[in-house]
Structure 1
Amino acid sequence: MLVDTLPEEFVPAVYSGEGTSADGGRGTARRLVIIGDVHGQTKALEDLLEKVQFNNTKGDHLIFTGDLINKGPDSAGVVAMAMRLGAHSVRGNHEDRVLLAHAAMNKKSPATAADALTAHQVAEAALSKGDQRDRETARSLSDEQIRWLAERPLILHIGPIPRGGGGGGNGQPPTFENMVVVHAGLVPNVSLEAQDPWAVMNMRTITLLKRRNKDEKKKEKKKAGKNKKGEESEPITTVVYGHDAKSGLQVPKEFGKGKRGYTFGLDSGCVYGKSLTALVIEVKDGAAVYEIVQVDCEAAAAVDAVAK
């Protein structure tokens, strides 16, 4: 699946009353907790959920930016936790690799046990180190976990946050006009449905093939706000992504009041002994607010030092 939409029931919203059943009785809107690349680090994930006081019985909802698996010691444990908590996730390049490995491993069945052993040894000998790791991860996952990973979209569209209110009242647009979660990134000025699947899971940078002319720059400015006639512009998209551990946590220096970046990079290198990061979004006084929460991680023994 290329694009999926987060169900309305999970999106932080402004409620007219307090302590309603919709918000879990807290008197506030529900929270979204979006977590960067976990890579099989179960302990760090548990620590982070404890630190943010995650409670899905009170309306909290969990979203992953992909790469829950591989490199770390407990891919199956991380997937099991995500499934148990009813989380949403997008497919990362490591989920894609492991799903491809699983499909290749189950393509045909040898006639005898001896044939199976021989075929396995030949296949393993021909594989690169990365391919062997993908197959090991695939073997560690149950059929149910494989199916769950295979059903994850490449792009999760959340839309405006908050629902039912503005960016603080006075007819202002929502704080997040249009939020999207992907693993690696999006190509600008291309619709979600037309994005290239490989690029969405693998890109880290993008090179524009031509310089923008004055007309294109004017169009971009018009999209960023209301024009002189007061016409509504297209909503600005905020992209939340993972994948780029080398760059680490990427958060806009300014957000709101017309001065803001529109991307949040949440891969902070947990598997390399750095941090695991959550972007926590909730509604206060009619506006969406966010905070960044992190926990320290232990480096996974199996990872390559090059990626540090």
Structure 2
Amino acid sequence: MQAAMGAGIRRRRPVMLVCIVASFLAFYLYYSRSVDRDAARVAWQPAPGPDDKPPQQEAESVQRPPESNNDVPAQKPLVPMSYGTAARPPFKDLKNILADLPSDLVPQPGTVDGAGSGRPKRLVIVGDVHGMKASLERLLEKVGFKREGGDHLIIVGDLINKGPDSAGVVELAMSLGASAVRGNNEDRVILAHQAMKTRLVPGTDGNDGPAAFGISPDSALLGEGGAAAAKASAEKPPSASRSAPAAGSDIEADMLEQNPFSHGDQGDRGTVASLTPAQLAWLADLPVILRIGTIRESPFTNLVVVHAGMVPGIAPEKQDPWAVMNMRTLKYPGRDARKERVKEELEEADKKGVAASSNPLSSSAVSAHQVEAELASRRRKGKERDGHDDVAVPVEGRDGEQWTDAWARYQRNQVSRDQDRVTVVYGHDARRGLSVPPVDRTDRLTPGSTFGLDSGCVYGRQLTALVIVATAKGKIHHEIVHVKCEGGRAGKGRRGRK
């Protein structure tokens, strides 16, 4: 029996040995793989930072493209377009869009100067000067301007450019404590000044001084020149910086107002070089709209001064600054589309009538008068909108409706009370010339009138002032005063318009 048991054990011994070896190999393989996995985790795991948070990506020095800026706040929506306003970015460089004239400078019935001399207080509002200092001095002399006597000078913009002494005009205005508004020429010069400070000219390092801009160092770029620069500006022929159009052309009186930078800004940079830092700062602070307010017992209700114009039905603080400095006319896209549609309908009806007629020569072109008459007929019958809600788009060209006509119509038809109407004094339109109400007595003026004072001084015509006087007897009256201008760009504008 023992022999049998020993034989059984001997038969099972190889099997047990195989099992032991297999177990050992399995354990070894398991252990090796576990160690490899742990090593791999240690090798690839990033080291934690001091605060046990994963490291953050450093801020990029280069701006990401817009589509990747998911963390940037969305841009504030622009104001939607309404009657006469444009959905455009704001003027970031404008410090002053709307300003109020101090009330102590506004003539009111019974007001006299502070010296007690009984002299009437006056506002002297002058049209576009364009560097014509001598003409401005003669105009002020003609009206007997005395600041110490209660007079206050206001200029309707475009004090500078085109004429011989831009720096002299600004110096005179500042010395008299004058008010003014920013015109399109001031705006261009301010933009040129900014470009001269910030623009890097190819081939320079940004610190090359006046020569980098093609201006002599003697003229002291950025307004450091003082008298020398002013003299250089005064002696330089007007044609040196801008080429004049052919005499007699329809655009010569305001050729620089259209597409102002199409000819380059070298002339504007020359004006910058003639101005001191204080003068440049004074120009940059000018408002686009100067609100004078209502002069009691007079038709000068809610009086404002602008350079170019305003869109009817829009509050002063909501006017588009570009339009106020540049506009001349208003265009109505809706009206134009309706006119075109009615014209096509009339032409189609005319063709059908000719086809039915025995006379093939009876057809004639549809005139603008026919289109207007048809539109008027349809409006009376309620078949067409009356157009009162059309959007007006201000433009600097002349192919629309004169903005002053639209202004008068709006004041007359949409503003029922005289005291709510807005009176506007403006300049900018040398070709149209002096445009004031055809009455010489203040008590005959209609509230909400417009006064256009650009009478083309720089083109050898006239410099004009609107003088508003408050007498000690409680009366308000106005007068228009002119002087003849010499030494400008005589012959370059349309002649014969006063």
TM-score range, shorter chain: 0.7 to 0.9
Q: Contact 1:252/1:261 (CA < 8 Å) preserved in 2?
A: no
2:481 corresponding residue in structure 1: 293
Q: How many residues align?
A: 282
Q: Contact 2:435/2:453 (CA < 8 Å) preserved in 1?
A: yes
1:6 corresponding residue in structure 2: 101
Residue in structure 2 matching 1:47, options 126, 138, 147? 138
Q: Does 1:25 align with 2:116?
A: yes
The offset of 1:118, in angstroms, is: 6.7
1:189 corresponding residue in structure 2: 313
The offset of 1:72, in angstroms, is: 0.4
Residue in structure 1 matching 2:453, options 259, 266, 273? 266
- TM-score w.r.t. structure 2 length? 0.52
2:173 corresponding residue in structure 1: 82
SS at match of 1:206: strand
Q: Contact 2:430/2:456 (CA < 8 Å) preserved in 1?
A: yes
Partner amino acid, structure 2, of 1:138: V
- Give distance in 1, aligned partners of 2:124 and 2:161: 22
- Give distance in 1, aligned partners of 2:410 and 2:189: 44
Q: Which runs of 5+ in 2 are unaligned?
A: 1-95, 216-240, 242-260, 336-384, 390-408
Choose between structure 1 and 2: higher strand proportion: 1
> How does 1:1-308 map onto structure 2 within 5 Å?
1-15=96-110, 22=114, 24-107=115-198, 110-111=204-205, 115-116=208-209, 119-121=212-214, 129-162=263-296, 166=297, 174-209=298-333, 213=386, 221=413, 223-225=415-417, 235-254=420-439, 256-257=443-444, 259=446, 262-284=449-471, 285-301=473-489, 305=492
Distance 1:258 1:74, change over 3 A: closer
Distance 1:215 1:240, change over 3 A: closer
Q: Contact 1:28/1:283 (CA < 8 Å) preserved in 2?
A: no
Q: Sequence identity of aligned pairs in percent? A: 50
SS at match of 1:106: helix
Choose between structure 1 and 2: higher helix proportion: 2
Pairwise CA RMSD: 3.0
The offset of 1:287, in angstroms, is: 3.1
- Give distance in 2, aligned partners of 1:242 and 1:103: 25
Q: 1:180-206: per-residue Cα shift (whole Å, max 9, x none)?
A: 000000010001111011100001112
Distance 1:21 1:272, change over 3 A: closer
- Give distance in 2, aligned partners of 1:6 and 1:152: 12
The offset of 1:160, in angstroms, is: 0.7
Distance 1:112 1:264, change over 3 A: closer
SS at match of 2:330: coil
Partner amino acid, structure 1, of 2:97: L
Larger radius of gyration: 2
The offset of 1:119, in angstroms, is: 3.4
